[in-house]
A = this chain, B = another copy of it.
């Protein structure tokens, strides 16, 4: 198995990302927990109530077991009962400034090996962006970085992973996307572990170059009660997505993961305003009309 290399990369990425956030946050630092248990290691790291970052959660988990449950091996039933390992990093950043978008990223790796040598592994993950105000240059930069992250591994990958992201982060009851999307992939296994791991590393390494220029551009922008109210209202949609649809949240709740780690993705302050309507032709309406439906951001 090659989990050790992936684990080491995820742990180093976690620190790189946490440091980059802390550099931007004079007031708060991450609460770093290190929880070793018989099934592995969890490192939930959460920064709360910063001056600029209202909440950020960057979690690492490593789980291993001696016997894979049948439910987890539908594709290869012969692996039921095999030894397995899974590592993941997942993060969410909720800035305080409504002009600075929320972002989420996740990378994960799974391996199992049977006694007779059958070996299965895959990678999954991606990153996506949820603005409260739409800026075309931000969406374009975000998707340029997303494309750059995966293009070396196949020119079909960006369109495929971009479409999968739009499809996954969609709220059918609101008929809108969660944000402007990005990359999303599951069950990725080309047969070449080295190359697939390199792809995952490239996605991980492109996260900060994708997000920080946007954050650094928007965070200094002045805002008032109007923008804050709009952000708190939009955060309700984030909660609706995570609790109604997100498979990661559902899996976390069902599998008995530490509940405060699962719920760390929740926005810190949220409003539900009954029958809220945005003003026609406003910046708030522009977000809904122009940014929350799938678009080809690199060919507008």
Contacts and interface: CB of A to CB of B under 8 A. Distances in A.
Interface of A: 31, 46, 48, 55, 57, 173-174, 232, 236, 239-240, 243-244, 253, 259-260, 262-264, 266-275
Task: Tell me if A's interface is mostly helix, strand, loop or mixed.
Answer: mixed
B260 A275 contact: yes
A48 B269 contact: no
A273 B262 CA distance: 12
A21 B90 CA distance: 45
B253 A243 contact: no
B266 A269 contact: no
A173 B273 contact: no
A271 B274 contact: no
A57 B272 CA distance: 13
Contacts of A275: 31, 46, 260
Contacts of A259: 173-174
Query: How many copies of this chain are found per oligomer?
Result: 2
Given A243-B239, A244-B243, A253 B173 contact: yes
A55 B274 contact: yes
A247 B27 CA distance: 42
A274 B253 contact: no
User: Which 6 A-B residue pairings sit nearest by Cβ, starting from the closest?
Assistant: A266-B272, A243-B243, A260-B275, A173-B253, A46-B274, A270-B270
B272 A267 contact: yes
A49 B239 CA distance: 21
Given A173-B253, A253-B173, A31 B274 contact: yes
Nearest to A249: B244
Nearest to A253: B173
Nearest to A266: B272
Given A239-B239, A259-B174, A264 B268 contact: no
A41 B226 CA distance: 35
A274 B244 contact: no
Tell me which of A55, A263, A271, A272 has the highest count of chain B C-beta atoms within 10 A of its own C-beta: A272
A268 B55 CA distance: 20
B266 A268 contact: no
A268 B263 contact: no
Contact of A48 (B240, B244, B266, B274): B274
B268 A268 contact: no
A47 to B, nearest CB: 9
B267 A263 contact: no
A174 to B, nearest CB: 7
A215 to B, nearest CB: 20
B272 A271 contact: no
A263 B273 CA distance: 9
